[in-house]
Structure 1
């Protein structure tokens, strides 16, 4: 035994980098919403970069350590307590058997990542531990974490801890600029509509979950009503009949028939994952070669 969940989390799930290669049979990629926070947590813990972790989307989650373990907390700025003492995040802690760990109020951002040294001992499905509720895959019983569950991991006897330098800790702001590669059906959007799309400021609506984020703002029109359903990539921007953009995220459907104006750069989707309703969104065009170079540099810096 390692870690017991001692309250009832509103929405906490086991995630990892996701499952790949199964879209053809209708299985989505899933995985952590904010890969930056996830990869940093595993790096601090000296885990493999695809080790599983707990993604926490709402405040007040409590755990009890059942043996000595090493933990790390990254992601949204939140209250983090060990035995009722407040500690900073974005670093590791050596926790003793019997200690109570609490993730309290989320103050900035939207998702917290809680990892342990060596990860949790959970059987993979389709090559991943990621929980996908709509497909009933992964995690513990393919569901969000529940009070009384016990997560197994290795006992750790380490007395050193690691923290991330402050300059690398992200700031979660109320206005985001998301870089977009024009693609998919962009030729069916008149130049005036594309110009409107890039000059407008949108607002994150309450329709925001692991599947996607619907925005509110100046409607964008397309010269076609729909398309034959096709595969959908991470960050794709659908334009439904009401003209309000929808950015598709980790638990997106595998195919869809709405026209798409382009795709948000994957690493910008990680920033979007930490946004709350009413966050302002501005889009900026980027060429594919430059986007590829930026993404490559991002991942190289975390290895």
Structure 2
């Protein structure tokens, strides 16, 4: 026994970078919603690039450690305790057998990440530990973590502590501007509709989960009602018949028939994943070549 879930969390999932090359058979990529927080947690621990982690989407989850290890907590600002002592996140902690770890109220942001040294000892499915609830894949039996679940890991004794410098810690309360590359289907949208898309400020609705994020604001009209269903990229912005944009995220369906006006830069989707309903977002255009350069720079800073 290693890390035991003591209470009944609302939504905590084992995730990693995701599974790839299976969308042709209807298996979504899945994976962590906020890759920045994910890679920082694993880097703090010296873990491999794709080591699994726990993604916690709602307040109040309690763990008991049954072995010594080192953990890192990143992501949303939250109440974090070890043995009822309040502590800071975005750093490592050395855990002893019997320690109680608690993530309390989430104060800003939406998702907290807990990583252990070398990750959890879980068999992969389709090359990944990522949990996809709608496909019953990954994690522990394809399900969210529940009271009594145990996640095994290698025992590890350590004495050092590593902290992330404060200026690298994100502020999740800022109004978010998402950089987008216009879709190859943008010719289905009149120029005034594209201008409206970029000039409007949208509100995140309650229809926001791991599959996608629906926005409220000025409606966008399209010259066609739909397209032949095709593959959907991470960050693609669909315009359904009601004209309200939907940004497709990690657990998105593998194909869809709504026209797409643009696609959000993947590294900006990670910031979006930490937003909450009623927060405001805007869009700004970015050239494809510049988008590729920024994404390459992001990943090169984490790969050792």
Query: What range is the shorter-chain TM-score in?
Result: over 0.9
Matched with 2:156 is 156
Give ranges in structure 2 of 5+ residues lacking alignment: none
Is 2:41–2:115's contact at 8 Å kept on the other side of the alignment?
yes
TM-score by length of 2: 0.99
Matched with 1:294 is 294
1:265-284 → structure 2 map (5 Å cutoff): 265-284=265-284
1:27-81, Cα deviation, whole Å (9 max, x unpaired): 0000000000000000001100100000000000000010111101000000110
Aligned-residue RMSD, C-alpha:
0.6
Matched with 2:211 is 211
Q: How big is the shift at 1:174?
A: 4.3
Q: How big is the shift at 1:302?
A: 2.2
Three-state SS of the structure 2 residue aligned to 1:192 is helix
Matched with 2:120 is 120
Three-state SS of the structure 2 residue aligned to 1:134 is helix
Is 2:74–2:114's contact at 8 Å kept on the other side of the alignment?
yes
Matched with 2:261 is 261
Is 1:79–1:106's contact at 8 Å kept on the other side of the alignment?
yes
Three-state SS of the structure 1 residue aligned to 2:134 is coil
Q: Distance in 2 between matches of 1:111 and 1:297?
A: 24
Q: How big is the shift at 1:300?
A: 1.5
Matched with 2:220 is 220
1:104-148, Cα deviation, whole Å (9 max, x unpaired): 110000000000001000010000000000011000010100001
Matched with 1:67 is 67
Matched with 2:55 is 55
Three-state SS of the structure 1 residue aligned to 2:113 is strand
1:84-113, Cα deviation, whole Å (9 max, x unpaired): 001100000001000100001100000000
1:131-280 → structure 2 map (5 Å cutoff): 131-280=131-280
Q: How big is the shift at 1:161?
A: 1.4
Is 1:174–1:275's contact at 8 Å kept on the other side of the alignment?
no
Q: Distance in 2 between matches of 1:290 and 1:20?
A: 24
Q: Distance in 2 between matches of 1:38 and 1:66?
A: 24
**Number of matched pairs:** 303
Extract structure 1 runs of 4+ deviating beyond 4 A.
none
1:155-176, Cα deviation, whole Å (9 max, x unpaired): 0011111111111111102410
Is 2:49–2:302's contact at 8 Å kept on the other side of the alignment?
no
Give ranges in structure 1 of 5+ residues lacking alignment: none
Is 2:34–2:273's contact at 8 Å kept on the other side of the alignment?
yes
Q: Distance in 2 between matches of 1:37 and 1:161?
A: 18
